[in-house]
Structure 1
Amino acid sequence: MKGNSVAYKLSPLWQRAIIGGSIWGALEITLGSVLHNLIVPMAAGTLLASLGVLTVSAISAPSIQRGFFWRAALICALLKSVSPSAVILPPMVGIALEGVLMELGLLILGTNVLGLLLGGGLALLSIPLFKAIRLYMIYGQGIVEFFNSLLIQLTGSNNVIVTNHLIYTLLIIYLSLGIISALIGYSLGKNNLPIAINPIEITVFTRVGNNLNFRTYLLLIIHIIALVSYLAFASAMPTWFAILGGGLYSTLVLAFYERPRKMLLKPIFILPVLAFAFIIPLITTKLVLVPMYGSYIFVRAIFVVVTLAAIGTELAKPAVSQLFSRGFLSPVYHASSMAFNALPIYLEAFEKSKFTASSMLKSIQGVINNSSWCGNRPIFIVTGGLGEGKSTYLENLLETLGKEKGLSFKGFIARGIGAPPLREGYNLRIIPEGTDLMLCRRIGACGLPNKSFEFNDGVIVRLTTDLAAINADDILVIDEVGRMELYGEVWAGLIEHHLTKTKNVLILTVRRENLMHVVERWNLTDAYVFDINKVGVTDAAKSIKNLVLSYHAASSRK
């Protein structure tokens, strides 16, 4: 994709939300696929929402913060797009709504356990309310008339008080379920240490196209307009016209979209919809009108379901999702990209657990306790300007990290000979031996690097061979990666070897003016960047320690 490379920052709160949203999303995908096969009204949504509230409550328990819940819910909703379910948009909206309602609890009662419990209760309240809205979208006014008629037949009277009592009882049950879920989550997480995340903002890189081509979004726009128009005007149309129009559009969608087509081929989905579509008019209208009215309700239901599936498919397309990498939505886009990297780890953890209450609770707690690292192999870049002290910073960083058990380093630190900016040459201090090797000597005052310095090819070949064969737990240190490596010289081969053939953690130093080029050259878009003018050695060491130890622990469990 043509465009400009740009860098974005993700705050510690977003990093925490990545973990919470990834765990919640893994639960939705693994457990959701099992529960949605059970034909029990609202069972799947209720249990998944309860586990979602429990999970984010456990993560937030040591340090409850506003803004965490809606972020985690939004990431979870985006991860839901990889679910095997054909219709993903309504669940995605429902999950995002749960996060917003949890935030509302904190807004009302404060960032404390009471606010957390209220938020959990409000989140579960969204389940029956959202279900009612969804049923109305699918079946229209007929669903309201159906339940009214059913209540009249069951109670023997058209008593509004009876209806209100049933509604209030249902809402109290769901409010209580949410409070209990949040309380269990808080109890599981209150004694844990806060999840170890970077105490600083992390940098993420991406390439954004210069121009937006609105033809890419044409199908998405058409489906949204069609859905809104049909829901708004179908009941006012002649019934035969609403059936014909909805049927034709649904047929076109099914011809071009595989997901809804596969869903409609399943009897477990289509038969209940068909039966319910004709049960409604049997109770709510005259017998002679049942075939026509039932056909309308059936076509409306299919239209809504397949159009929502088409909208979800269009939103998942890379060209469409790239739209969200711009402006104030960019943190959402980049956080969800990191969450997609972490998702397979959490999916594997939950797929191995039994679907019992005790087993799921243990799995959730176990995953939360081992969630410092999420995603790919950590790569760290120390950056700064020419002569600002990158090598000294790196030396101090390694000295701090060298006191930690479980961390071992192999590589080298470049030591300049003479005063900057025109150094006479560079020696390499080998890690961990501490010996010095001559890398290059200046032969020219200016010009391209390969004309300014004469390199010691023997040292380059020897170190490349030795450092290509380091142990899997060793951290490779290269000081520095610059224009020569961008040209494919000096340490370029060593870098490419480790990026393509090993899983070792890398620490690189890069001049600030070369940073974007290095990221682009080796696709290091999820590297952790420490600018020596903005991040202290202590903070950088803490981040590296937490991430590397978590990465090694996750690797050993595979």
Structure 2
Amino acid sequence: MSDQTPVFIITGEQGQCKTTFLHLVLSLTVGANVRIRGVLAPGHVRDGRRSGFTLINLATGEHEELCSIDPDPRCEVHGRYYFRPEGLAFGRRALVPPDPRETDLMVIDEVGRFELQGAVWADQIDRLVTLPHPPMVWTVRRRLLDTAIQNWEIRNPVVVDVRTASVMATASDVMDAIWEWREAQTRSGLPVPPLPGGRNAFEPPVLAGAAAGASADTPTILRRRYSPEG
């Protein structure tokens, strides 16, 4: 099934809001009984420059600081970032290959030059792409796009360029892929819980943050507590 299961790759340059685009796409699927695993990595800015990243476990809503530009002798150094051992362990647990019977969508934010050098999430990605997996969504910087596709031999990439793509259309395409994944599981005899609505009648749910009083401009992707500022 994995040879035919798409990997959606949200791409753009640094600062072109790849994570924000992903965040919005997930906001439109989380209310549709979609079982999501993986990580989201919102960045932090200090004095006009990227200063670090927080990691969000999409299955649990838990979060952990991943890395920063502040020197720390306990940390792994990649580029100008110091990766905290707790953050790396947290992310690697979140990216353990999922049970296909219990996952509809796998998310990796982001796949970058450190992974292409064999670091950070490289081992987890290696395992994910060689095992049966549900549809995946990655974020990848544009200049690394072709290299990432070739490196992991992605046979069915769906490239989503944040400069021109529609969040709504992308969410609809992701939901179509999830429907196909679930139908394939049903044909193979695996039990899967139903998705609401019909196969060709995707209507995006109300953004999860709206029910909690969050601004419509900063929707939460989780039913609990995460927002870009929180």
Q: Which residue is equivalent to 1:436?
A: 63
Superposed displacement of residue 532, structure 1: 1.0
Q: Which residue is equivalent to 1:459?
A: 87
Q: Give, in whole Å, the separation in 1 of the partners of 2:31 and 2:164.
A: 24
Q: Which residue is equivalent to 1:403?
A: 31
The reply to whether residue 527 of structure 1 matches residue 154 of structure 2 is: no
Q: Which residue is equivalent to 2:133?
A: 503
Q: Which residue is equivalent to 2:118?
A: 488
Q: Which residue is equivalent to 1:387?
A: 15
Superposed displacement of residue 512, structure 1: 0.8
**Residue in structure 2 matching 1:542, options 172, 187, 207:** 172
Secondary structure of 2:49 counterpart: coil
Q: Give, in whole Å, the separation in 1 of the partners of 2:98 and 2:146.
A: 28
Superposed displacement of residue 463, structure 1: 2.8
Does the 8 Å contact 2:38/2:94 carry over to 1? Answer: no
Task: Give deviations 1:56-99, integer Å, cap 9, x for gaps.
Answer: xxxxxxxxxxxxxxxxxxxxxxxxxxxxxxxxxxxxxxxxxxxx
Superposed displacement of residue 401, structure 1: 1.0
Choose 1 or 2 for highest CA Rg. 1
Q: Give, in whole Å, the separation in 1 of the partners of 2:11 and 2:65.
A: 23
What letter matches 1:501 in structure 2?
A: L
Superposed displacement of residue 432, structure 1: 3.6
Q: Give, in whole Å, the separation in 2 of the partners of 1:451 and 1:498.
A: 25
The reply to whether residue 412 of structure 1 matches residue 42 of structure 2 is: no
Q: Which has the higher contact order (CA 8 A, sep 6+)?
A: 2
Superposed displacement of residue 505, structure 1: 2.2
Q: Give, in whole Å, the separation in 2 of the partners of 1:420 and 1:526.
A: 40
Does the 8 Å contact 2:39/2:91 carry over to 1? Answer: no
Larger proportion of strand: 2
Secondary structure of 1:423 counterpart: strand
Q: Give, in whole Å, the separation in 1 of the partners of 2:61 and 2:165.
A: 26
**Residue in structure 1 matching 2:99, options 446, 468, 471:** 471
Q: Give, in whole Å, the separation in 2 of the partners of 1:537 and 1:509.
A: 14
Alignment of 1:147-226 (within 5 A): none
Q: Give, in whole Å, the separation in 2 of the partners of 1:491 and 1:375.
A: 21
What letter matches 2:137 in structure 1?
A: I
Using structure 1 for the length normalisation, give the TM-score.
0.31
Task: Give deviations 1:396-417, integer Å, cap 9, x for gaps.
Answer: 1001011223x21112211111
Gaps of 5+ in 2: 72-76, 189-230
Does the 8 Å contact 2:19/2:42 carry over to 1? Answer: yes
Does the 8 Å contact 1:383/1:531 carry over to 2? Answer: yes
Does the 8 Å contact 1:387/1:421 carry over to 2? Answer: no
Q: Which residue is equivalent to 2:207?
A: none
**Residue in structure 2 matching 1:422, options 15, 35, 49:** 49
Superposed displacement of residue 425, structure 1: 0.9
Q: Give, in whole Å, the separation in 1 of the partners of 2:160 and 2:47.
A: 22
Task: Give deviations 1:87-115, integer Å, cap 9, x for gaps.
Answer: xxxxxxxxxxxxxxxxxxxxxxxxxxxxx
Change (3 A) 1:379 1:491: same
Superposed displacement of residue 428, structure 1: 1.1
Secondary structure of 2:175 counterpart: helix
Task: Give deviations 1:319-376, integer Å, cap 9, x for gaps.
Answer: xxxxxxxxxxxxxxxxxxxxxxxxxx9xxxxxxxxxxxxxxxxxxxxxxxxxxxx961
Using structure 2 for the length normalisation, give the TM-score.
0.72
Does the 8 Å contact 2:11/2:145 carry over to 1? Answer: yes
Superposed displacement of residue 546, structure 1: 0.8
Gaps of 5+ in 1: 1-344, 346-373
Q: Give, in whole Å, the separation in 2 of the partners of 1:492 and 1:556.
A: 31
Does the 8 Å contact 2:97/2:127 carry over to 1? Answer: no
Q: Give, in whole Å, the separation in 2 of the partners of 1:521 and 1:383.
A: 16
Change (3 A) 1:480 1:431: same
Larger proportion of helix: 1
Q: Give, in whole Å, the separation in 2 of the partners of 1:535 and 1:550.
A: 22
Q: Which residue is equivalent to 1:518?
A: 148
Does the 8 Å contact 1:378/1:551 carry over to 2? Answer: no
Superposed displacement of residue 454, structure 1: 0.8
Change (3 A) 1:421 1:382: farther
Q: Give, in whole Å, the separation in 1 of the partners of 2:30 and 2:18.
A: 18
Q: Give, in whole Å, the separation in 1 of the partners of 2:37 and 2:53.
A: 19
Q: Which residue is equivalent to 2:219?
A: none
Does the 8 Å contact 2:92/2:124 carry over to 1? Answer: yes
Aligned identity (percent) is 27
Superposed displacement of residue 548, structure 1: 1.7
Superposed displacement of residue 421, structure 1: 6.6
Change (3 A) 1:517 1:470: same
Task: Give deviations 1:155-213, integer Å, cap 9, x for gaps.
Answer: xxxxxxxxxxxxxxxxxxxxxxxxxxxxxxxxxxxxxxxxxxxxxxxxxxxxxxxxxxx
Aligned residues: 181
